[in-house]
């Protein structure tokens, strides 16, 4: 059974959710424009918006600007949300650091914070998250509404970390542990899924019917949006890219099958290849700089990675047919050094008459991933879907 989120907003019906989402993503909107977008009669819209206004989720604002419409001689008051009325927290947990952000209801980041982990035990991580919650909340200027947490690995019911190789966890009830310490509703999700949701609602995929996200960094992540909604599937947290073979005779690395997307593209695999060939341990930034300067081994590894990335993007475009592919993650510096080679790989993997791939590259850090987790909290709490939220 659904429960009130604690924000003063009652659980929403599907029709009310549609109204709330439309205003949240595109407001302020006049009632006439809102009814048109949702194909509702004026009477139906009035019935749906009345409780949303009464609860404070929607408010009437005095001026619709140049789009203001007049109905029977009276100006139509547009509807909007008060973005700063509540604050949401998002956290990205890595193997050694927690990155946090505080956002408004519209996902604008108002504060950033990161803290190193003193240990990877569930109690220690939950304690760090609780301490960061207190610090971010102290200067929020608005009541904290909820917490979203992104973790690399398998997450069940948006509450339990089923398997996280980065933390060495199995079956950890993270939402419960953090909820007990903070007194706030908590939602936990796979970090890539959280990023995809954020980009769908407030970022590169906003308003698109078909949209894909590809992330490269410590691992390879992939998410697909169809009909404007992320497509969940049972295997999405089980290591995309480990067995996606791009070059059957490509490099063999400790992580990922030979010639797989993981062995060719991830930062640990690229560093491993350089170390195995030269005996020298180099950072990813140093390898990219070496490739740009024409250092033979670095140039060879980065060129091979760039061609692999182009092939992977072409395959996604061929099979998923998205309107846009967003390339994100801490490994996207590859595009700065070898973007032309990536483009060659894309063209080689596409029909000559195929439409160009709508590719957008986003240089992101872990605070962007944390923002994605905050968007999850916004979605769940605003939509009233408390069945997937751990409430204290």
> Using one digit for the tens of pLDDT, what is the confidence trace for 91-109?
999 999 999 999 999 999 9
* Between residues 70 and 357, the one the model is more confident about: 357
**Helices 31-38 and 42-55, packing angle to 10 deg:** 110
CATH class for the domain made up of 84-197+368-388: alpha beta
Q: What CATH number should be reported for the domain whose range is 241-322+331-363?
A: 3.30.420.40
Q: 309-345, pLDDT tens digit by residue? A: 999 999 999 999 999 999 999 999 999 999 999 999 9
Domain regions of the chain by residue span: 14-81, 84-197+368-388, 241-322+331-363
Using CA atoms of 122, 125, 130, 131 in order, give the dihedral in degrees to the nearest 10: 150
Reported as a pLDDT band with limits 50, 70 and 90, residue 234 is low
Collapsing DSSP to helix, strand or coil, 1 comes out as coil
Average pLDDT, the chain: 88
**Residue carrying the six token digits 């650091």:** 97
Q: Which two tokens stand for residue 71?
A: 């109905």
Mean pLDDT is lowest, of 1-10, 202-211, 219-228, 327-336, for: 1-10
Residue 53's contacts (CB-CB under 8 Å, 6 or more residues apart) are: 59, 60, 79
64-68, 84-88, 266-270, 281-285: which range is least confident on average? 64-68
Say what the pLDDT of residue 388 is.
44
pLDDT for the residue 128: 97
DSSP, residue by residue, 164-212: ETTTTEEEE-HHHHHHHHH-S-EEEEEHHHHHHHHHHHHSTTTT-SEEE
Burial of 292 (0-12, 13-18, 19+ CB in 10 A): middle
* pLDDT of 314: 97
Per the CB < 8 A criterion, the answer to whether 341 and 307 are in contact is yes
Query: Which residue is listed with tokens 């962007």?
Result: 368
- Measured CA to CA, the distance from residue 195 to residue 219 in angstroms comes to 14
Question: Rounded to two decimals, what is the model's pTM?
Answer: 0.86
User: Lowest-pLDDT range, 36-45, 76-85, 170-179, 314-323?
Assistant: 76-85
Distance CA 192, CA 221 (A): 6
CA dist., res. 370 & res. 148, Å (int): 8
Average pLDDT over residues 190-199: 92
User: Which of 36-50, 289-303, 362-376 tops mean pLDDT?
Assistant: 289-303
**Strand (E) or helix (H) holding 4:** none
Select the highest-mean-pLDDT range: 36-45, 70-79, 303-312, 353-362. Answer: 303-312
Q: Which of 177, 133, 195, 226 is nearest to 326 (CA)?
A: 195
List all residues 6 or more positions away from 43 whose beta carbon is below 8 Å from its beta carbon. none
Q: Which residue has the higher pLDDT, 168 or 237?
A: 168
CA pair distance 358, 240, nearest whole angstrom: 22
What is the predicted pLDDT for the residue at 10? 67
Spatial separation of the C-alpha atoms in residues 241 and 190, rounded to whole Å: 16
Whole-angstrom CA distances from 14 to 18, 30, 232 are 6, 21, 20
Q: Is residue 346 over pLDDT 90?
A: yes
Please report the pLDDT score of residue 69 as a whole number. Answer: 46
The CATH class of the 14-81 domain is mainly alpha
Q: What percentage of the chain reaches a pLDDT higher than 70? A: 89
What would the pLDDT profile of 168-186 be if each residue is shown by its tens digit? 999 999 999 999 999 999 9
Same fold, 84-197+368-388 and 241-322+331-363: yes
E-state strands within 22-108: 59-60, 70-71, 74-75, 79-80, 87-93, 97-103
Most confident listed range (54-63, 215-224, 331-340): 331-340
Query: In this predicted model, which residue has the larger pLDDT, 19 or 5?
Result: 19
Q: Environment class of residue 59 by beta-carbon count within 10 Å: exposed (0-12), middle (13-18) or buried (19+)?
A: middle
């Amino acid at each position: 059974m659904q429960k009130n989120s604690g924000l003063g907003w009652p659980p929403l019906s599907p029709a009310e959710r549609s109204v709330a989402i439309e205003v949240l993503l595109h407001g302020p909107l006049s009632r006439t424009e809102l009814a048109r977008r949702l194909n509702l009669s004026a009477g139906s819209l009035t019935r749906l918006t009345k409780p949303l206004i009464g609860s404070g989720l929607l408010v009437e604002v005095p001026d619709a600007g140049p789009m203001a419409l007049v109905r029977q001689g009276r100006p139509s008051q547009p509807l909007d949300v008060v973005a700063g009325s509540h604050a949401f927290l998002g956290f990205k947990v890595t193997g050694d650091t927690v990155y946090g952000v505080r956002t408004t209801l519209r996902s604008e980041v108002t504060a950033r914070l990161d803290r190193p982990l003193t240990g990877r035990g569930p109690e220690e991580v939950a304690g760090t998250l609780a301490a960061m919650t207190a610090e971010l909340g102290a200067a929020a200027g608005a009541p904290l509404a909820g917490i979203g947490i992104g973790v690399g690995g398998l997450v069940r019911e948006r509450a339990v970390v089923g398997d996280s190789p980065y933390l060495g966890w199995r079956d950890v009830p993270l939402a419960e542990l953090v909820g007990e310490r903070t007194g706030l509703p908590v939602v936990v999700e796979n970090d890539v899924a959280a990023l995809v949701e954020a980009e769908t609602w407030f970022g590169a995929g906003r308003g698109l019917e078909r949209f894909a996200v590809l992330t490269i960094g410590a691992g390879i992540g992939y998410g697909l949006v169809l009909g404007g909604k992320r497509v969940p599937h049972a295997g999405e947290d089980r290591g995309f890219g480990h067995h996606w073979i791009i070059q059957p005779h490509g490099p063999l690395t400790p992580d990922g099958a030979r010639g797989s997307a993981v062995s060719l593209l991830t930062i640990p695999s690229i560093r491993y290849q350089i170390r195995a060939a030269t005996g020298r341990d180099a950072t990813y930034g140093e390898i990219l700089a070496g490739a740009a300067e024409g250092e033979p081994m670095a140039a060879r590894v980065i060129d091979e990675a760039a061609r692999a990335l182009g092939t992977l993007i072409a395959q996604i475009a061929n099979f998923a047919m998205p309107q846009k592919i967003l390339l994100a993650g801490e490994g996207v510096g590859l595009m700065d050094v070898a973007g032309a080679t990536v483009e060659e790989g894309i063209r080689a993997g596409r029909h000559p008459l195929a439409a160009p791939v709508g590719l957008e590259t986003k240089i992101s850090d872990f605070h962007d991933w944390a923002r994605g987790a905050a968007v999850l909290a916004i979605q769940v709490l605003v939509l009233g879907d408390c069945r997937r939220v751990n409430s204290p």
